[in-house]
Amino acid sequence: MKLPNLANARKRTKNPVEVITDNYKLTNDMKKLGLNRAYYIKTYGCQMNEHDTEKIKAILEDMNFYEVDKMEEADLILLNTCAIRENAHNKVFGMIGRIKHLKESKPHLIAGICGCMAQEEVVVDEILTKYKWLDIVFGTHNIHNLPNILATSLAKKELEIEVLSVEGDVYENIPVKRDNLYKAWINVMYGCDKFCTYCIVPYTRGKQRSRQPEFIVEEVQTLVNEGYQEITLLGQNVNAYGKDLDIDYRMENLLEDVAKTGINRIRFVTSHPWDFTDKMIEVIKNNDNIMPYIHLPIQSGSNKILKLMGRRYTKESYFELYNKIKDAIPNVSITTDIIVGFPGETEEDFNETLDIVNKCQFDSAFTFIFSKRVGTPAAKMTDNVSLETKNKRLQELNKLVNKYSNLANQKYLNKTVPVLLEGFSEKNKKTLFGYTDTMKLVNVEADESNIGKIVDVKITEVKTWSLDGKICE
């Protein structure tokens, strides 16, 4: 039993990061654990979390479990959780209640929690007092050890918790079962050292650890050979890639080397404005296979709030960077994240946020109400904005954001754009859906044989959230 510890999760040292390539090993007994057992896994978090799920699936299948898509049919249920906001927590605890119900009628059912919530001391304390009937809890630093954790829990027939509150290492040997045949996620770095005052990620994911470039490029090359069309380089703060390596190699170098593999589409998330260099902009501009799409979270338009958030830029410097990117990269689409109701946010501060949205006219924005996360500095700030005001501000902001999303989409009418078609549209099984280079969702009347291809599509109708188009013959 290893329990998370907030004080340790907060620590940052200069201890070197180990690159571990050889510790994922399964014994024959572990390979038998999953025989005739079905698993169901639900993912709650960001792309990083989704990609972790792809690793967990591969590990479970190495143990001979097989996947089902109905929780009721599973012998093993895992919830890969997210801790970013309170509502993510609530959803998971609701689900745990449903699982308890299932377990009452199916005593052999194995149930577990993993991901960012498992890294939280308060959550594990709650599990130990209220949900001791769960079988396994493991964190973001010990996915590779899942076979051992499962074997231990099954042998002891009791709750096994293994959550390491450590800065973390880089594991290069974990298998992955990719969900998509055409698009793939690739970790380029783990963890985060930015410690924005509202954010829990630096505590749940450890310190910033960049992967060695050769492992990343090799992974991309393999995907190219397998026929993948698109890769997304993942990190909490990808622009800081390489800063922690002892070689002179940064995000712009990585982007250039990844571009040379010939993969058709390269994306990367998330960019923190602080580390966005001119060289990076140059490289994006000069390589056709690096997509003209950038997610650049601003969080607030008020310098006072940005300072309280610990974001290290001002509204003015953000706008300057924004314009530099827009001027350099033709057709670039820029999206953002915004938090409303941060402690101390006045009407004036909120108006500053509306003002920067009006200036930038983002292609789209993810908007959130500030959520207090235990252990973060912002949780100790006086939250003096009422829930009613937060809701009002969110609605007003969303209205503005949607106006500009619609405006951005209008520019696509009658234009011909490249779309990677991924599959049948959910709403209408006769159309296919896909994304433009600029990350616009497009529904296309096209034959099934186009799935997995990048095709030219003429946009015939524009909506706020999507575009409709016809394939150009």
Site for ligand SF4 in 228-247 (CB under 6 A): 236-237
Q: Which residues contact 376 (CB under 8 A, 6 or more apart)?
A: 197, 198, 199, 200, 203
For residues 353 and 409, which CB has a smaller minimum distance to ligand SF4 in the complex?
353
Decide: helix, strand or coil at residue 114: strand
For residues 199 and 254, which CB has a smaller minimum distance to ligand SAH in the complex?
199
Contact 344, 388 (CB under 8 A): no
Q: Could you identify the residue written with the tokens 């209408």?
A: 428
Decide: helix, strand or coil at residue 264: coil
For residues 192 and 459, which CB has a smaller minimum distance to ligand SF4 in the complex?
192
For the beta sheet containing 183-187, the strands, ordered from the edge strand earlier in sequence to the opposite edge, are: 183-187, 230-234, 265-269
Question: Residues touching ligand F3S: how many (CB under 6 A)?
Answer: 13
What, of ligand SF4, ligand SAH, ligand F3S, none, does residue 370 touch, CB below 5 to 8 Å by kind?
Answer: ligand SAH
Closest CB 192 distance from ligand F3S, rounded Å: 8
Closest CA relative to residue 52, chosen from 142, 120, 121 = 142
How far is the C-alpha of 120 from the C-alpha of 18, rounded, in Å? 24
Q: Which residues contact 435 (CB under 8 A, 6 or more apart)?
A: 419, 420, 422, 441, 442
Closest CA relative to residue 353, chosen from 408, 311, 388 = 311
Given 55, 89, 141, 205, the residue binding ligand F3S (CB under 6 A) = 205
What, of ligand F3S, ligand SF4, ligand SAH, none, does residue 186 touch, CB below 5 to 8 Å by kind?
Answer: none
Binding of ligand F3S at residue 77 (CB under 6 A)? no
Given 165, 232, 270, 335, the residue binding ligand SAH (CB under 6 A) = 270
Site for ligand SF4 in 369-398 (CB under 6 A): none
Given 199, 306, 400, 442, the residue binding ligand SAH (CB under 6 A) = 199
What, of ligand SAH, ligand SF4, ligand F3S, none, does residue 49 touch, CB below 5 to 8 Å by kind?
Answer: ligand F3S
Closest CB 192 distance from ligand SF4, rounded Å: 3
Given 59, 149, 201, 231, the residue binding ligand SF4 (CB under 6 A) = 201
Distance of CA 189 to the CA centre of its chain: 12
Q: Could you identify the residue written with the tokens 């908007």?
A: 367
How far is the C-alpha of 363 from the C-alpha of 402, rounded, in Å? 9
Binding of ligand SAH at residue 339 (CB under 6 A)? yes
Structure tokens at 246: 């002892």
Phi first, then psi, for residue 104 (nearest 5°) are -65, -35
Closest CA relative to residue 362, chosen from 391, 387, 397 = 397
For residues 63 and 199, which CB has a smaller minimum distance to ligand SAH in the complex?
199
Given 66, 93, 133, 195, the residue binding ligand SF4 (CB under 6 A) = 195
Binding of ligand F3S at residue 297 (CB under 6 A)? no
Strands (E) in 44-181, as ranges, are: 66-67, 76-81, 110-115, 136-138, 160-162, 170-171
Candidates 54-62, 79-87, 211-219, 245-253: pick the segment binding ligand F3S (CB under 6 A).
Answer: 79-87
Neighbours of 401 (CB within 10 A): 23
What, of ligand F3S, ligand SAH, ligand SF4, none, does residue 139 touch, CB below 5 to 8 Å by kind?
Answer: none
What, of ligand SF4, ligand F3S, ligand SAH, none, does residue 210 touch, CB below 5 to 8 Å by kind?
Answer: none
Give the helix/strand (H/E) hosting 28: helix 28-33
Binding of ligand SAH at residue 300 (CB under 6 A)? no
Which residues of the shown chain bind ligand SF4 in the complex (CB under 6 A)?
192, 194-196, 199, 201-202, 236-237, 272
Which residues of the shown chain bind ligand SAH in the complex (CB under 6 A)?
84-85, 198-199, 201, 236-237, 270, 272, 297, 299, 337, 339, 368, 370-371, 373
